[in-house]
Amino acid sequence: MQLRVLTLNIWGVHYIAKFINRRIEALIEHLKHSDTNYDIVGLQEVWSKRDYIYLRDQLKTIYPHSYYFLSGLVGSGCCIFSKYPIIGTYEHRYSLNGFPHKIQHGDWFCGKLIGLCKILVNGYIVNVYNTHLHANYHHVIPEDIYLGHRICQAYELIQFIESTSGADTTDFTILLGDLNLTNDDLGFKLIEGILQLNDAFYKRINKNVFDPTVGNSGRTCDLLDNPYVKPHPYQGEGERIDYILYRARNDNMKCIEAYPTLHKVPNSSNGLHYSDHLAVYGLFEIDETIPRKQTKPLDNMEIADEKTRNNLRAACIIVEESIQRLQRDRIFFGLGVFILVLILFSFNGNLNSHGYLLTIATVLKDILCLIGISISIWFIVLGKPAERNALSSIRNAMNIRLRVPHFIH
């Protein structure tokens, strides 16, 4: 039995992304084409529910089963289309997802999550997970201030998959999506090492099969020849951050082909591209003759190799550094409140004895000070403590896995 899987970040940010409607139409035309025969399609950054409904209605004859993961203010952006029945869904919204005052990045307003669709494929239960982790904005911020958040998201992803893909209820596990992690990043090493997932691109058997319009490097984002990518000093030649990862309960699943695809839209007169990312395609072969293995008891499950344990220890250090940064942030906002209060009650004078413009300037100063004080108090009392609790919770969970009896709060 063969299973064909596709994942694509469609860059569906309305009013910012270019040619959204035309690119969605091109994607629909591709998915409907007789030469394409995907069984499961996972999409990210479908931020508009109207876009999802349009995709669903246009593709329902080919993919009668689909699901959109609703979350947050503007949604999760993640959805799954399947030729096979979806028999169950579950989702977990990440507890950390950026900062509300970083409006230009926007991640905090999105309900980023890991979503699960349990799909029944010819009698096999396939857990398909779709996710989109926090961006690192390395092209804007050389120092990655979101590293701690992305590490925590990666660990929550690990916990969620562990909790929902038990060997007695799941035959195959497939994780797809935009992880915003290269395969050298610590978060990816944790996902791959702890969950024992296989990277389809590296584990593929036919390594010489690839999309000739893309090449065989595996890179999926920040490509130099993509017109939707803004050049930046840290760009390089692109990076691989979109994945299909998999594992099989009985080691009876092999990846035959896997490669990036869907770059330029064919026969487009104006150089239309499907997205600022490339899609990733995977062809899997399932051997139905291999008997089922006996499951391993959960109480004996530990991290087998020292390399993964060291990676987890390194992740603990990063999370701890993020917690210490929070303490500095609270001090900073506290000093901000003190300074703003001084300014609020200074330079006022007698408004009746001054001119019209000075009165307006004084009122405007007071309003801005009150706004700054309110925002700073919110961060001190609510925002930063909530972030600290989320970071500490993940750090404590990591300590449990490392068998370190240490509680952080």
Nearest to 112 by CA among 137, 86, 78, 80: 78
Amino acid at 309: R
Biggest CA–CA distance in the chain, Å, is: 93
Three-state SS for 255-301 is: EEEEEEECCECCCCCCCCECCCECEEEEEEEECCCCCCCCCCCHHHC
The first and second tokens of residue 307, run together, are 């390399």
The answer to whether residue 14 is catalytic is no
CA distances from 69 to 4, 189, 308 (A): 22, 26, 31
List the structure tokens of 285: 């072969």
Helix (H, G, I), strand (E, B) or coil at 101: coil
Structure tokens at 159: 């916990």
Q: Which of 30, 277, 354, 409 is catalytic?
A: 277
Burial of 272 (0-12, 13-18, 19+ CB in 10 A): middle
Instruction: List C-alpha distances in Å: 237 to 27, 220, 241.
Output: 25, 10, 13
Other C-beta atoms closer than 10 Å to the C-beta of 293 total 12
Which active-site residues does the annotation give?
Answer: 277
